[in-house]
């Protein structure tokens, strides 16, 4: 459940006033976008809207509330508690995680040092992505991920286009398995949360519930994090979001060779789509993953369209 007052206090006073008077369910709000000298925009129920001066969602840009340099400056002051320096590491990665687990993406002038990103200044673009924890959304898929004796799981890849709820699903799968729901007993899970989206740690404390047997590496590159967890935390499962690089694939092979199970997500529309990707295709062709969960948002966010096994046999299909 999104705490409206907790969320709104990160915005400038004027934006706070506008957003607080909108007639909408904050549980269905996905993004709030601020761009300097551009209209205030939100993504609500998977659709983009402008926010009007009459405190309404609209498709008419002429009525939209316009974002000024002052709104950006004041909002960043509230987000950082008047100390951007304290968030230097996060800013270097292009986002700040705030209380409630929401992620604030930022863009502006990138400062380089020794050909590496040192910081971002003249911040002129802000995207607040709201964290949604939907307990129970994995109830359908977990039985397909668990083997016959319910003592272990299959290597699983979640395939999903953007904004379909794949991270929300991954989060609930982790919670299920860590707490021992839908399986004989709880399993130790290691999570590499590169962009603070899965656990949404704030000051080191997870804002989302990932279960009692879950260990989290926050803001850590996936490939490095998978290796670190294997060596230090003895996980039975490793969970990561949005794999794709060559380094990710090498780390995945290492994890699997160590006898650890893997749950991962990837952007895509189907198994064939992933198979055609130059790096990820190797994992599909070699049948590395034993279960494929394909998501879609044509009906609603979080819709499980199909589930397949390693051979491509259809195990489940949404017929609605």
Structure tokens at 115: 């050909």
pTM of the model: 0.81
Assign 3-state DSSP to the chain and report helix, strand, coil percentages, each to 5: 30, 30, 40
Looking at the chain, the number of H-run helices and the number of E-run strands are 10, 17
Mean pLDDT of the chain: 91
Higher pLDDT, 197 or 144: 144
Beta strands in 36-167 (DSSP E): 41-44, 47-51, 57-58, 95-97, 103-113, 116-129, 156-160
Whether 1 shows a pLDDT value over 60: the answer reads no
Residue 163 confidence (pLDDT): 80
Whether 141 shows a pLDDT value over 60: the answer reads yes
User: Minimal CA–CA distance to 278: which of 316, 246, 319?
Assistant: 246
Q: What is the dihedral of CA 156, 162, 163, 166, to 10 degrees?
A: 10
Residue 74 confidence (pLDDT): 96
Whether 154 shows a pLDDT value over 60: the answer reads yes
- CA-CA distance, 229 to 211, in Å (whole number)? 17
- For residue 147, the tally of other CB atoms under 10 A from its CB is 11
Residue 200 confidence (pLDDT): 84
Q: 42-55, pLDDT tens digit by residue? A: 999 889 999 999 99
Let me know: does 14 contact 26? Beta carbons within 8 Å.
Answer: no
Q: pLDDT band at 150, cuts 50/70/90? A: confident
Whether 162 shows a pLDDT value over 90: the answer reads no
Q: 75-87, pLDDT tens digit by residue? A: 999 998 888 877 8
Residue 320 confidence (pLDDT): 64
Whether 254 shows a pLDDT value over 80: the answer reads yes
Strand-pair partners of 232: none
Beta strands in 39-89 (DSSP E): 41-44, 47-51, 57-58
- For residue 17, the tally of other CB atoms under 10 A from its CB is 12
Whether 72 shows a pLDDT value over 70: the answer reads yes
Q: pLDDT band at 98, cuts 50/70/90? A: confident
């Amino acid at each position: 459940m999104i705490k409206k007052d907790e969320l709104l206090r990160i915005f400038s006073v004027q934006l706070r006033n506008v957003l607080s008077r909108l007639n909408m369910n904050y549980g269905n709000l996905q993004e709030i976008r601020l761009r300097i000298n551009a209209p205030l925009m939100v993504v609500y129920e998977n659709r983009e809207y402008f926010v009007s001066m009459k405190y309404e969602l609209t498709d008419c840009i002429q009525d939209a509330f316009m974002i000024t340099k002052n709104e950006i400056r004041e909002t960043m002051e509230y987000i950082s508690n008047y100390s951007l320096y304290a968030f230097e590491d996060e800013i270097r990665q292009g986002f700040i995680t705030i209380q409630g687990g929401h992620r604030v993406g930022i863009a502006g002038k990138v400062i380089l040092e020794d050909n590496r990103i040192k910081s971002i200044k003249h911040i002129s673009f802000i995207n607040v992505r709201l964290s949604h924890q939907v307990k129970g959304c994995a109830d359908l898929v977990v039985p397909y991920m668990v083997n016959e004796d319910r003592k272990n799981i299959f290597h699983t890849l979640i395939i999903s286009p953007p904004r379909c709820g794949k991270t929300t699903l991954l989060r609930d799968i982790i919670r299920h398995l860590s707490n021992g729901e839908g399986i004989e007993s709880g399993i130790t899970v290691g999570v590499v949360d590169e962009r603070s989206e899965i656990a949404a740690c704030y000051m080191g404390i997870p804002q989302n519930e990932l279960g009692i047997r879950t260990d989290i590496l926050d803001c850590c590159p996936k490939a490095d994090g998978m290796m670190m967890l294997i060596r230090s935390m003895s996980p039975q499962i490793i969970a990561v979001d949005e794999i794709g690089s060559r380094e990710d694939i090498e780390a995945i092979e290492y994890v699997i060779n160590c006898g650890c199970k893997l749950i991962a997500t990837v952007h895509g529309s189907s198994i064939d789509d992933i198979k055609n990707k130059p790096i990820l295709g190797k994992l599909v062709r070699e049948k590395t993953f034993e279960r494929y969960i394909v998501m879609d948002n044509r009906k609603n966010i979080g819709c499980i369209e199909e589930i397949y096994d390693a051979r491509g046999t259809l195990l489940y299909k949404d017929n609605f």
